Amino acid sequence: MKKLNLFRKLLKYLTILFLIFFLASFTVCNKDDDNNDSNPNVEYENSDNWVSLPAVTKDVDVFYIYPTVSSNATGAMDITNTTERALAVGIYKAQASVFESNTNVFAPYYRQMSTKVDMSGVELATDTKEFKQGAADVEDAFDYFIKNLNNNRPFIIAGHSQGTMALIELIKNRFGNDAELRNRMVVAYLIGYTVTDADLSTAGLTAAQNASDVGVVITYNTQSVTSEGGPMLMAGAHCINPLNWRTDSTPADSLLNLGAMFFNDETGEFIREENHYCGVQIDMETGALLTTIPIEDADTLEFGPYSEGVYHRYDYAFWYKNLQQNVSDRIDSYFSKD
C-alpha cells in the first residue's frame, strides 16, 4: 500500500511538471505567433508589393525607394491602403521618371515611418521602431531584387528623404563586405538626407567627385542662400553640385541647368518644364546646395513643413534634366571602364 501511495504521489508530481512545461511552451509559441501575425515580413515575391516591376529592356536596373508619403495615424505606412499606395505611385512618377529612359526601374512598397510617428523617447527618427521596420522592408526588397529580378545586371540605387535614409542603412549593412555588389553598382543617388564619411566608410564606398566616376555616392540637400536649413542637413554632410558636378564652391550658372521639371507629387501629373531654371553653389561650411529660384516660384511653390528656403521637396525637380543626363553619362562610363 505504501508503495502504491508513493507511486501515485510521484505520478501526480510528474503530471504537474508536464503541465507547467506544456503551458510555458504554449505561451511562448503563442507570443511568437502573435508577433509574426501582427508584423509579418512583406512578401516581395507578390507583385502587388511593388510600385514598379518593369519589363526588362535596358542593360542597367534602378532600385528606387520613395520619400515620406504616409500620414497614417499608426505611425507606419499601410501598404495595403489604396490612398497611401497612390501617393507612392505619384511621387514615383515625379522622381523615378528621371531614370526610366535609361534603366529598368524597380521600386517596392515599404512600411515607412509616417508623419504621425511617436517620437517621444527617441532622439533621431532613425531610432524609431517604425523607421527600423521600414528600413528592414527595404533590405528585404533589395535582397529579393538581387536574387530574383536583377539577373546580375549592373544597377543603380536611388532614393529621396526617408527613402535615402533607408538606403543608407542598406549600403552599410549589405555593401561593406560584398565587393561583387559594390562592383556592380553604377552609382547611388542618395539625395535629400545627410551622407557622412562614417556612412561611406562602413559601406566601402566613396562620394562622387565629378560627372562620370562610377561606384560612388551622389548626395545633396537644396536650399535658398538665406535659409538656415532643414532637419535633413546635418554636420558632416557630403554635397556635389548637380549642374557642374564639382564638390567645391565653384558656382554653376543657370545656363548649365538643362531643365527643371515640375510634377504634382501626389498624382504624378506633369505640370511644367523650365529651361535654365536656376543656378547653384555649394556652401562649403554647411554642405548645403544653395540656389536662388525665380521670385514668383519662391512665393507660390509649396515647400512643405520646413523653415524658410528649404527646397527639400524639389531636390529632384530643380535639377531633373541634369540628373537624367548624368544617369546616361555614368552608365556609359561604367561600360567603358577597363
Instruction: Give the residue among 194, 172, 173, 188 at the shortest CA–CA distance from 125.
Output: 194
pLDDT at position 38: 57
Spans of the chain below 50 pLDDT: 1-37
The sign one gets for the Cα dihedral 244, 249, 250, 256 is positive
Record the pTM: 0.88
Instruction: Give the residue among 189, 170, 158, 171 at the shortest CA–CA distance from 92.
Output: 158
Cell of 181: 555588389
pLDDT at position 17: 38
3 state SS of 314: helix
CA distance 123 to 115: 16
Strand duo 260-263 + 270-274: pairing: antiparallel
pLDDT at position 336: 96
51-57: long-range contacts at Cβ-Cβ below 8 A with a sequence spacing of 24 or more? 51/85, 51/88, 51/89, 51/92, 51/107, 51/108, 51/109, 52/92, 52/96, 52/105, 52/106, 52/107, 53/106, 53/149, 54/104, 54/105, 54/106, 55/104, 56/104, 56/151, 56/153, 57/104
Got the DSSP string for 317-335? TTTHHHHHHHHHHHHHHHH
Encode pLDDT of 25-76 as tens digits. Answer: 333 333 333 333 457 899 999 999 999 999 999 999 999 999 999 999 999 9
SS3 content of the chain, % helix, strand, coil (to 5): 40, 15, 45
pLDDT at position 251: 98
Name the residue type at position 125.
A
Instruction: Give the residue among 212, 154, 159, 209 at the shortest CA–CA distance from 183.
Output: 154
